[in-house]
Amino acid sequence: MKNILVVGSLNMDCVVETPHIPQAGETVSGRNVSFIPGGKGANQAYTAGKLGGSVKMLGAVGNDSFGQTLKANLADAGVDVSGIYALEKETTGQAFISIDDAGENSIIVIPGANGAFTPDLMEKKETSLAKMIEKTDIVVMQLEIPLETVLYVKELAASLHKLIIVDPAPALSNIPDRFWEGIDYIKPNETELSILTGKQMKTQEEMIDGANLMLEKGVRNVIVTMGGKGCMLVNSGLQQFFPARRVKAVDTTAAGDCFTAAFALALAEGKSCSEAIVFGQTASAIAVTRKGAQTSIPTREEVESASP
Ligand code: RIB
């Protein structure tokens, strides 16, 4: 099996369940509050590890109890956490998440140590980044750490001919074109693709046009996820729709992270792109039926027994 390196964010999610998400100026009584390991990068590393992958995570937390809990949770899923730095002057990233009765969420992220995870910091550590990337086959990233870090790692990984997967979340509108060159897969949802391209994404045709714009910037494959509808794979030779399985979603937090990581893991195991997409869809369809980020990730057995 191929090795996976996840480079990205770690957050402690403070999750409030509420009948509805308050409007500006409104106060509502929530039902309960819980602290759940999260962060887009950590959710992806956790998923790939829990599903049986050989996974290392590179990222930063504060030297505090949240950071220790996040690292321990990843280690429990079999993730190598030796590349997660505990920074003295920073606090661990936090995400404040409200979930309403319909399973919709709103999230405010305080980056903390994730924002201090710069190329300089990585290169100051004793194991050089290039050596770490040399030892891996697949590099998975998101955009919850500084863009310069993602760009730096991407250029190193591309120069070493590694497979690169970027989940462009949270999406930014001002990403330079050279960022996209040499990326094998991106997985935006409709909203993220709209932000990346500056175009509206209401119809399937608009999504295909948006994906083609990303191909023109140098991405090799675009997987546009459309929530409960399914997803669309677009590359230079193909446009293929994959319908979603029908489930009752209670909380969609980390569903995209679960998809990306399960997809990466399936590629690491030698599955085809189409098989990997179906594996990712199956895993994330289970995740949305459960509450929380890392608490919602299924086991390998659960994904296999739900597989079509
Ligand atoms: O993608 C879900 C994640 O986004 C949450 O776990 C939260 O930490 C935010 O980063």
Along the 308 residues of the chain, how does pLDDT read in single tens digits? Answer: 999 999 999 999 999 999 999 999 999 999 999 999 999 999 999 999 999 999 999 999 999 999 999 999 999 999 999 999 999 999 999 999 999 988 888 999 999 999 999 999 888 775 688 999 999 999 999 999 999 999 999 999 999 999 999 999 999 999 999 999 999 999 999 999 999 999 999 999 999 999 999 999 999 999 999 999 999 999 999 999 999 999 999 999 999 999 999 999 999 999 999 999 999 999 999 999 999 999 999 999 999 999 98
Strands 32-38 and 11-17, bridge-based pairing: antiparallel
Q: Which residue shows structure tokens 């390998």?
A: 300
Task: Tell me the β-bridge partners of 34.
Answer: 15
How distant, in Å, are the alpha carbons of 4, 211, 216, 257 from that of 1? 9, 30, 32, 21
Cβ 290 vs Cβ 38: under 8 Å: no
Residue 270: how many CB atoms within 10 A of its CB? 10
Best residue for ligand 1 mutational test, from 10, 253, 297 (most atoms within 8 Å of Cβ) = 253
Q: What residues are annotated to the active site?
A: 257
Best residue for ligand 1 mutational test, from 10, 35, 40 (most atoms within 8 Å of Cβ) = 40
Q: Residue 109: its pLDDT value, please?
A: 97
The gap between the terminal CA atoms of the chain, to the nearest Å, is 23
CA–CA gap between residue 233 and residue 254 (Å, rounded): 20
Read off the tokens for 55.
């996974």
H-helix segments, 106-146: 119-124, 129-134
CA–CA gap between residue 50 and residue 55 (Å, rounded): 10
- Distance (angstroms) between ligand 1 centre and the Cα of 60 equals 15
- Residue 256 CA: which ligand 1 atom is closest? 1
- Distance (angstroms) between ligand 1 centre and the Cα of 240 equals 28
Residue located nearest, by CA, to atom 8 of ligand 1: 39
Best residue for ligand 1 mutational test, from 6, 9, 10, 13 (most atoms within 8 Å of Cβ) = 13
Q: Residue 127: its pLDDT value, please?
A: 67
CA–CA gap between residue 64 and residue 35 (Å, rounded): 15
Residue 199: how many CB atoms within 10 A of its CB? 14
CA–CA gap between residue 303 and residue 300 (Å, rounded): 5
Cβ of 192 closer than 6 Å to ligand 1, yes or no, is no
CA–CA gap between residue 273 and residue 102 (Å, rounded): 32
Residue located nearest, by CA, to atom 10 of ligand 1: 39
CA dihedral sign of residues 302, 100, 259, 53: negative
Q: Which residue shows structure tokens 């309960």?
A: 32
Measured at the CA of 39, the angle between CA 206 and CA 108, to 5 degrees, comes to: 75
At residue 302, what is the residue type?
A: E
Q: Give the containing element (helix H, strand E) for 5.
A: strand 3-7
Cβ of 149 closer than 6 Å to ligand 1, yes or no, is no
- Residue 257 CA: which ligand 1 atom is closest? 1
Which stretches does DSSP call E strand in 18-126? 32-38, 54-62, 80-87, 93-99, 105-110
